[in-house]
Chains A and B, each alone.
With several copies, the nearest count.
Chain A
Amino acid sequence: MANNTVKTTVRKESFINRMGGQKFIVLLVAIALFLVFCAASPGYRKTTTFITILDYSYYIILMGIGVTFPLITAGVDLSIGTGMVCYALVGGWLIRFHEWPTGAAMIVCILFGMVIGLLNGFLVAIMELPPFLATLCTSMITRGIGSVIVGGFGIPWPTAGADNAWYRNLFKLSNGSTIIPIGLLWMILIVIIMSFVLNHTKVGRYTIAIGSNKEATRLSGVNVRFYHILAYVICGFFAGLAAVSYAAVVPTVQPGTGAGFELEAIGGAIIGGVSMSGGIGSVTGTLAGVFVIVLLKTGLPFIGLTANWQQIITGLVLIGAVLIDIIKTKREQIK
C-alpha cells in the first residue's frame, strides 16, 4: 500500500532548548555566580552592594544591547567604549562650561552617539569597509575628539545634590535611608522594547536578514543600505544613553579612557548567544551575558581574589559558560 505522507516524528526538545538554549544556560550561570558570591562573602549579599553592582552595570548593559544590532548584521562596533566616554565628556563640558541645562546635554550625548553611529554605518554599509577596521578607526577618532573638545581635563557631571543633578534620580531614587534602583526598571523596559524591535518590527527583521544573507535580502527588494546603517545608528544611540548612565555613576569622566568597555559589551553579547557571523542573537541573551560579565567583575574581588586571579577566573568562567551550550548541542546532534 502506497503511503505518501511523510512521517514526522515530533522532535522532543529538551527543557533548556525550549527555554531559549544558550540564553537560558547563561542566565543560570549568572544566577549561580550571584549565589556563589553571596554565599562566599557577607559583604556581597547586602542590598547596597547589589545597588552598586547595578549602578556599574547599566552602561555595559546599554552598550551591549546597542552592539547586538551591528553584531547581528555580521558586523561589530568597537567604537562604543571610547565613544561613550567622548559623549559623556562633551555633555559634561556643555553643562559645566557652557551652562547648558542637563537635559539638553543628555540629548547632545545621544545625538552625538547617533552621529558616530551614522558615520560607522556609512563606512560599513556604503563604503564597504570591514566593520572591525572602520569602527576601530572611529574608536580612535572619538577618543581624540573627546579630549580635544574638553581640553584634556576630566569633566564631572553635576554631583548628587546639585541643582541640575536630577538626572541621577533617573537611575536611583534615594529616600533618605532606602535606595530604589529604578535604573533596573529602565533596563527591563528597554530590553522589552528592543526585544520587540528585534523580533517584531521591520528594523529587527531586516537586521537579521542582512546578517543571514545580505545579497539575498537586497535581491528581495529591501533597502539594505538603510537598515544596515540603521543598525549602527541604533548602536550609537545606545552608546549615547550609556554615556548618560556612565556620567551618573562616575563623578569625573576622564578623557582618554573607555577603551575596553566595548569588549565587555561585545563579550557579553556573544556569551548571550549573538553570533559574530550574523543572523543570530537576542536582546535578552545579551542581557544575561552582560550580567555574567558584570557579576564576575564585581564579585571576584569580594571572594578575595587579586586582580590577576580575577582575570584568569573571568576568562575561564566565560569559556565555560559558552562551552556548556556547545557541548550540549554536540551531544544532542550525535544522538
Chain B
Amino acid sequence: MGEVILTMKEIDKSFPGVHALDHVNLEVKKGEVHALMGENGAGKSTLMKVLTGIYTKDSGTITFEGKEVEFHNSREAQDAGIVIVHQELNMLGHLTVAQNIFIGREFKKGMRIDDKKMNEEAKKLFDRLNIDIDPKETMSKLTVGKQQMCEIAKAISHDAKVIIFDEPSAALTETEIEELFKIIRDLRSKDLGIVYISHRMDEIKVITDRVTVMRDGTYVGTLITEDSTKDDIINMMVGRVIYEDPKTESMVPKDAPVVLKVEHLKAGHMVNDVSFELHKGEILGFSGLMGAGRTETARAIFGADPIESGDIYINGKKVVIKNPQDAVANGIGYLSEDRKRFGIVVDKTVAENTTMANLDNYMSGIFIDKKKERDVAQKYVDDLATKTPSVDQLVVNLSGGNQQKVVIAKWLTRDCDILIFDEPTRGIDVGAKSEIYKLMNQLAADGKAIIMISSEMTEILRMSDRVVVMCEGKKTGEIGIAEATQENIMNMATREIG
C-alpha cells in the first residue's frame, strides 16, 4: 500500500425524502483494494456517484492526488483518472461489444471510425483479461454475466488511477469471479487505487486490504481486512452477528409428494432434454456455469419462452403452459435474474409493484382497493425490512437490493406453491440475505416447493436440499445435499456428456 490518492471528507447528499449521505468519509491509497460495505441502501452507490460527478454533493470535500477536485460529469472524472463500473448495467444494446468498450473515445482513421482496430484492441484486452467474448457480437445478445465482464473490461481499458467496482460480482459466476480477482490483483500491483463494493463476505476477505463500512448513509469506520474477522465487519454493518453455515442434510421428508415433474424439456437454443422432480417443501438448487441454461429452463417452465417439446406435471397432472398466465394459474411464481428488465416496473410505486401479480385479491368490485394494496405492501416492507420512505416511493429510487425485495414481495403476495428464484440474493446485503434465506426456509417449511437458481456456490450449499447441475443446456448431475461438495458440483458443471 502506498500513499493516499483519494480522500472524501464529510460528504453530504440528500434526495427528496431521503438523506442518502450524512457526512461520510472515505480514503483510498495507491495499490490497495478498498472494500466499501454496508446494507442495501446504505449509500455506497450514491457515494461513488458523487465521486464521479454523476451527482453533485451538498457539502464536503474530495481530494484527489493532493488537489481538491469537483467533477461535473463522468467525463471529467474519467479524464482525471477515476472510472467506475456501475452497479446497474450501462450498456448500449444496439452496438457491438467493441463499440461499447470504446464509446466516447473511438479510434479514428481520418474521419472514419476504425472499427477494425477497435475490434483488435478489444480482443487484445479480452485476451489479457482471459475473457472469451467476441468483440463483434451485439451487446444485447450477451448474457448479463458477459455484459458485466464487458463493463469491467471497459473500465480497465481506461488509463485510470482509481477504479471503482460497484458490485461487479453480482452478475458473475464463480469462475468469472476468479478471473476478476486475477485482474484486480494485477491492477493493484500496478499501484492503482481500487474501491470494491460487494455484499459477499468471502470475497472481501480474499481480495481487499481495508474495509470501510457505512450504515444508513453514515460513516461507521474503517478496518484493516487482515486484522478483522467476518463477524467484525458484519457487526459493524448491521449491528449484530449473522451466521452462514452450509446445510448438511436435507430437511425434506422422504415421502414428500412430487409437486412438479419436468420430463424431457426442450426449449429455445439451450434447453435440451432436461428432466427433474421437485418435492413439496424442498429447496432444489440449480447450479452451473454461466450460460448453462438454467435461466432458460426456468423461463420455459414459467411459459415466458415457448416450449418445443417435453412434459410438465404438477401434482401428478399434466399441464400445458403456454404463457406466464398459465404458469401463474398453475401456482408457479418466477423471480427473474434481471430485475430491471423483467422483474419490476421501475417507474411505479412499491405498492403497485407488490400487487402486480395478484391484483385480483386487491379489488373491491371493479375497483382496485388502494388501501388494501398499500396495507399489504407495507406488510412486506416491514417483513422484508425493505428500505423505503413509504410504499408510495417509486421503485426506481430504491437501492438495488431493496428493489429485489420488492420483487420477492410481489411473489409472496401470490401464495404460489412452486416458486422459482433465479439468483434471489443477487446484490443483496448480508443482513437482508439472511432474511431472505430465513424466508425461503420458512416457505419450504410451510410446504412450498422452491427452485433456487444460484451461481454462488456458498448459497447453493447453504440452502439446497438437493442440487441439480446443468452444463450447456443439459442436466449433468443431481446430488443430495449430504453428498454435495464444491468440488463434485464443479466437476458436474464442467462435465462433457454423451
Contact = CB atoms under 8 A, between A and B. Distances in A.
B389 A208 contact: no
A52 interface: no
Interface string B365-401: 0111010000000000000010111100000000000
Q: Is the interface of B mostly helix, strand, loop or mixed?
A: loop
Contacts of A279: 92-94, 345, 347-348
B17 A8 contact: yes
Interface in B306-329: 306, 323-325, 327-329
A200 B113 contact: yes
A196 B365 CA distance: 13
B356 A8 contact: no
A6 B145 CA distance: 15
B344 A213 contact: yes
Contacts of A221: 73-75, 78-79, 104-105, 324-325, 327-329, 357
A11 B367 CA distance: 29
Interface stretch (B188-196, B206-214, B440-448, B490-498): B490-498
Nearest to B335: A219
Contact of B103 (A11, A201, A217): A217
A212 B94 contact: yes
B261 to A, nearest CB: 21
B111 A201 contact: yes
A10 B269 CA distance: 12
Contacts of B22: 7
Given A7-B472, A222-B356, A279-B94, A215 B18 contact: no
Nearest to A275: B94
Given A200-B112, A205-B352, A219 B306 contact: no
A208 B348 contact: yes
Contacts of B385: 4
Interface in B76-115: 78-79, 86, 90-95, 99, 103-106, 108, 111-113, 115
Contacts of A220: 74, 90, 103-104, 324, 328, 356-357, 410
A6 B342 contact: no
B341 A205 contact: no
A1 B363 contact: no
A11 B78 CA distance: 34
B161 to A, nearest CB: 16
Contacts of A201: 111-113, 366-368
Given A6-B387, A201-B367, A220-B357, A212 B347 contact: yes
B306 to A, nearest CB: 6
A202 B359 contact: yes
B472 A6 contact: yes
A7 B86 contact: no
B171 to A, nearest CB: 16
Interface string B10-32: 00001011110010000000000
Interface string A213-235: 10111111111000000000000
B130 to A, nearest CB: 12
Contact of A7 (B19, B90, B91, B336): B19
A209 B356 contact: yes
Nearest to B139: A212
Nearest to A218: B324
Contact of B334 (A11, A219, A334): A219
B304 A218 contact: yes
B217 interface: yes
A1 B476 CA distance: 13
Interface band, chain A: 20 to 34
A127 interface: no
B286 interface: no
A9 B95 contact: no
A6 B292 CA distance: 9
Contacts of B262: none
A213 to B, nearest CB: 5
B240 interface: yes
Given A4-B387, A201-B366, A209-B103, A216 B341 contact: yes
Contacts of B75: 221-223
A211 interface: yes
B238 interface: yes
Interface in B245-266: none
Contacts of A222: 75, 103-104, 324-325, 356-357
B416 to A, nearest CB: 10
A196 B494 CA distance: 45
Given A201-B113, A221-B104, A209 B95 contact: yes
A255 B410 CA distance: 51
B166 interface: no
Contact of A219 (B99, B113, B302, B389): B302
B496 A3 contact: yes
Contacts of A216: 90-92, 336, 341-345, 356
B92 A213 contact: yes
A205 B101 CA distance: 13
B18 A219 contact: no
A40 B384 CA distance: 62
Interface string A68-107: 0000000000000000000000000000000000000000
Given A213-B341, A217-B345, 11 more contacts: A7-B217, A201-B113, A205-B95, A208-B95, A212-B92, A213-B344, A219-B86, A219-B90, A220-B90, A221-B327, A223-B325
22 contacts: A6-B387, A6-B389, A7-B472, A10-B17, A200-B367, A200-B370, A201-B113, A201-B366, A209-B352, A211-B94, A212-B92, A213-B345, A215-B90, A215-B342, A217-B104, A218-B324, A219-B304, A219-B336, A219-B342, A220-B74, A279-B345, A279-B348
* 4 tightest A-B CB contacts, nearest first: A221-B328, A221-B75, A279-B94, A216-B90
